Structure formats: C-alpha cells, structure tokens
Homo-oligomer: A and B are copies of this chain.
Amino acid sequence: MAERPTTIYDVARAAGVAPSTVSRAFSRPGRVNAETAERIREVAAELGYRANPQARALSTRTTSMIAVLLADIANPVFAELVRGAEEAAAEAGYAMVLADTRESAGREREVLDKILPAVDGVVLASPRMSDTAVRQVAKVKPTVVLNREVGGLPSVVVDNPRGMRRAAEHLAGLGHGHVTYLAGPEAAWPDGVRWRALRDARHDLGLTVRRVGPVPPTVNGGIRAAAAWAAHPTSAVVAYNDMIAIGFMRGVLAMGKRVPEDVSVIGFDNTQSAEIVSPSLTTVASPQRELGARAVRHVLAFVGGARSTSTEPVVLPSKLVLRASTGPGPEHA
C-alpha cells in the first residue's frame, strides 16, 4: 500500500533517455526512433509503468473519463441507463464514473466540485439542482442533461407527453372517466410534464383528473399515495413511476380492494419489478439503455469539439406496455 507508482522519470532513468522521450514514445508514435521506443516500452513494462491520467490532464486538459450523476442509484430505472452509458463510453475509449446524489441538489454540487476537474464531460441524469446551477456546470465542462430540459443546453429526454397520452387513451378506452395522478417529487422534471400531459388529454378524452402527492418515488411513497387516494377514490390511477405504482397496489390490496377490478393502475418506466409484481403492471416504457448511450455520445461529441451541435433536445419514444393491472372501468361499454 502507498507504494509510489513508477513515473516517466523512473522509466527515463532506467532506459537512459530524457523523460520527454518516454512521453513521446507512448503518445507520439513515429516521433521517436522505433528501436528507442521499443526499448522504452520494454523498460516501462518491466517497471510496471502506468501513465497518471491526472497528471496528464494538467497539461492536456483531457482525462478520458466522463461522469454520470444520478439522482438515486437505488431507483432500478437507472440500471439500464447506466449500462447504455457505460457501453457507449467504453466504445469511445472513455471510462465512466458514476455518482449518486441522493436526490439532493446540495450533494450534486459537492460531488461536482470534486469530480468535475477529473473528467472531460458530464451527464446529469434527472438533476435536482436549479437551471442556473446546471448552466454553471455546463460553462465549465461539456454537459448533457437527461430527463430534463434546461433552456439552451443539450438534453436527451423521453417523449413523456406521448407516453402519458397513450396511458390516458388506454384508460378512457376501458371506460374510466376519472383518473388520479400519483405525483412524484416536485424536483423531478418529468413529474410536471406527465401531469400536464394528463391534464391536456382530459378534454379530448372526456376525463376528469385529480392529483395526489407529491410522494417519494418509492414503494413506501406509493403506499402513502394509496392512503391519500382513498379519500377520493377513482377507478383508475397513473403513477409517476413503477415504484409508486407498486406501492399503491400494495396499499389498496391491504384495504381489501382488488387490482384491476376495483382500480386500474399504470406506472412509468417498465422496470423489472413491473413484470414480476402481481398483478403485473401496465406501464409506460422508455428505452433507458438507448437514453444513456445517446447522452454519452452527445457529451463526447462536444468533448470532441463540436460547437454547432444543435441544442434541440433529443427525444426518444416511449410506449405503453399492457399487462394485468388495468381492466374495464365503470363506463365500459
């Protein structure tokens, strides 16, 4: 432990050349005589030399690392997203580091202070901090925002309005006239978008809509939402995400009601849990893996110097996955 790693200086001394030559042997193929380079490489291998990316970053200002900030690692919806991001980064020869910010704007700031100088770009997935703070970050390093739009900044989002619209149409088609939205955290940008999309659909589809919450985006949050909903029950609910939807089902089951006979439930995200819970959950799916990959590629394009890249948000489609948690409503023909 704490054994000093070998540097180009160690290698240079051992190989009888100048440090600059060692440096070039690795980063400037052809700039150094082939034999000399070969000898240097041998000595380096023998000594177990590994370049220190941080030291390199001092002068080159690039580290081959990008950071992805996540609001909540425990939220399973991020699992696939991270995979996509990691793969896209690896493909481009970058390492991806992740930071969990525990749904807190303060933690986001703290982590960024430490990590920002160490990376070439940042993906902010569902950031909780203010637009101003996000722009601040974007001034320092190439930044792409995920699941949120911040004016003027590149972002990758899911087509939430269309997803919600499909959910509403599905419920209306089943004969549900009243729908409750179980709201997630107010700091979560998609929450507002989804709620507005539901409200916008109400005229066309002849629905009345209500809203309970906000509750935390967890199973327990869903249980609390169930209690709130019970004060003015409706025959259908759409939850901010799958976790809330699952908690809600658990809550209403505990009240002796049944899903979907007494109440139809739709979630968002199509997490693995949506499939294994029973009744299995109808939910609005989004291509998370693709989302992560696109965000990373987008950042890397900026890192590569793209200046003119459009700042129009990249919008990825969502689709409704039908399962067993939705059924006919009171006005079913």
Contacts and interface: CB of A to CB of B under 8 A. Distances in A.
Interface of A: 1-3, 5, 50, 52-55, 57-58, 63-65, 67, 73-74, 76, 78-80, 82-83, 86, 90, 95-100, 102, 107, 110-111, 113-115, 117-118, 138-143, 219, 246, 250, 272-273, 276-278, 302
Nearest to A141: B1
Contacts of A278: 277-278
Contacts of A113: 50, 53
A57 B142 CA distance: 23
Contact of A73 (B1, B3, B63, B98): B98
Contacts of A73: 73, 78-79, 82-83, 86, 98
Given A3-B139, A140-B5, A272-B273, A100 B86 contact: yes
Number of copies: 2
A100 B95 CA distance: 10
A102 B88 CA distance: 13
Contact of A58 (B2, B54, B79, B277): B54
B53 A114 contact: yes
Main secondary structure on chain A at its contact with chain B?
Answer: helix
A142 B90 CA distance: 26
Contacts of A5: 117, 140
Contacts of A64: 114
Contact of A277 (B50, B98, B276): B276
A273 B273 CA distance: 6
Given A97-B97, A97-B98, A97-B115, 16 more contacts: A1-B141, A5-B117, A5-B140, A53-B117, A54-B54, A54-B58, A55-B117, A63-B114, A64-B114, A67-B97, A74-B80, A82-B100, A83-B102, A219-B276, A246-B276, A277-B278
A263 B294 CA distance: 44
B83 A115 contact: no
A324 to B, nearest CB: 12
Contacts of A54: 54, 57-58, 117-118
B276 A52 contact: no
A145 to B, nearest CB: 13
A155 to B, nearest CB: 14
A53 to B, nearest CB: 6
* CB-based closest 9 A-B pairs: A74-B79, A98-B98, A95-B114, A97-B97, A278-B278, A54-B54, A52-B117, A276-B277, A73-B82
A1 B80 contact: no
Nearest to A305: B2
A74 B74 CA distance: 10
Contacts of A102: 83, 86
Contact of A302 (B1, B246, B277): B1
Contacts of A100: 82-83, 86, 96, 98
Contacts of A272: 219, 273
Contacts of A140: 1, 3, 5
Given A82-B100, A90-B107, A276-B273, A65 B139 contact: no
